[in-house]
């Protein structure tokens, strides 16, 4: 051997005479104790059984086989998730059923409350119903009030109810019907209140117009008294003249919506006229 070096290590035979299956290796001489020891262990350890195991391990396996543990874990997780989802769905359906039933029952309470409100509205319109068309400025308001009250007195039958033994769909349907009926009751209440207010305003408007017209007529009467009745009491004459001026100004310029304002002024003028007439002297 030249230069103490081999290009390739000689073939190594196993104890049974077969060739090793390992690929050729290149060694550098002289060999160290560690390399020599390792090669000896390798040579002694090779056998037919170990070769068969090596070949078996190197045989190709399918995807399912190579990942069987992962697939088993995934399948177990999927089963658990399906069970949990089923339980959650059952709980959710139960919760939905309870929520729908509770909503339906609340709608019943609101409906009953609005029924009482409608009854109060009808009762509250009793006094206004006694107002005649001749007492208002617009006769249509009286007609509208009577129509609204008559509609509010109509009997309504729901035909639905909330039942714990009913299906979710049935209770939802009942809830919608009750809510619709409640809205109708509210509309009736608003119609009565609106018509009632309109009658009262129309009556007040007429009362103001009548009171103002009466004041104007009273001013005319006072002017006639002042012009045609003679009195030696100068103070009474001055008082009547002042009352006439105040009454005339209010009758022509005031925009008060309170008929009592004009009525009070009329009474003051009438008092001044009576006092003045009491001091009249015969001609």
Global pTM reads: 0.60
**pLDDT tens digits, one per residue of 29-68:** 454 555 455 555 444 444 444 444 444 445 555 655 555 5
Whole-number pLDDT of residue 75: 63
Tokens standing for residue 168: 């979710």
Mean of the per-residue pLDDT values for the chain? 79
CA–CA distances in Å: residue 159 to residues 131, 162, 175, 177: 37, 11, 12, 9
Q: Which single residue is written with the structure tokens 């609106």?
A: 194
Percentage of the chain modeled with pLDDT above 70: 66
**pLDDT tens digits, one per residue of 115-148:** 999 999 999 999 999 999 999 999 999 999 999 9
Q: Which residues pair with 182 in a beta bridge?
A: none
Task: Count CA atoms within 13 Å of residue 268 on its CB side.
Answer: 16
Q: Which residues pair with 280 in a beta bridge?
A: 231
**pLDDT tens digits, one per residue of 81-96:** 555 544 444 444 445 7
Whole-number pLDDT of residue 54: 47
Angle, CA of 70, 71 and 75, to the nearest 5°: 120
93-100: average pLDDT? 73
d(CA 269, CA 112): 56
152-175: average pLDDT? 90
d(CA 265, CA 268): 5
Whole-number pLDDT of residue 69: 65
């Amino acid at each position: 051997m030249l230069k103490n070096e081999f290009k390739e290590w000689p073939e190594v035979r196993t104890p049974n005479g077969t060739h090793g299956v390992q690929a050729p290796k290149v060694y550098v001489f002289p060999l160290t104790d560690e390399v020599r020891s390792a090669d000896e262990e390798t040579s002694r350890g090779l056998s037919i059984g170990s070769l068969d195991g090596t070949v078996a391990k190197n045989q190709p396996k399918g995807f399912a086989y190579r990942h069987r543990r992962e697939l088993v874990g995934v399948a177990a997780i999927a089963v658990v998730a399906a069970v949990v989802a089923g339980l959650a769905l059952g709980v959710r359906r139960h919760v939905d059923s309870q929520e729908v039933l509770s909503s339906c029952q609340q709608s019943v309470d609101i409906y009953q409350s609005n029924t009482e409100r409608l009854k109060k509205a009808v009762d509250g319109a009793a006094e206004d119903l006694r107002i005649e068309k001749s007492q208002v400025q617009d006769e249509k308001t009286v007609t509208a009030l009577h129509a609204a009250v008559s509609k509010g007195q109509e009997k309504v039958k729901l035909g639905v109810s909330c039942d714990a033994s009913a299906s979710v769909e049935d209770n939802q349907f009942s809830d919608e019907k009750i809510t619709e009926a409640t809205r109708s009751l509210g509309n009736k209440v608003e119609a009565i209140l609106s018509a009632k207010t309109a009658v009262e305003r129309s009556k007040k408007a007429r009362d103001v117009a009548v009171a103002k017209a009466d004041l104007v007529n009273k001013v005319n009467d006072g002017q006639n008294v002042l012009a045609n009745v003679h009195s030696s009491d100068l103070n009474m004459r001055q008082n009547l003249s002042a009352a006439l001026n105040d009454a005339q100004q209010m009758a022509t310029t005031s925009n008060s919506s309170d008929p009592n304002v004009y009525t009070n002024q009329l009474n003051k003028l009438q008092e001044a006229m009576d006092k003045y007439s009491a001091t009249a002297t015969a001609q």
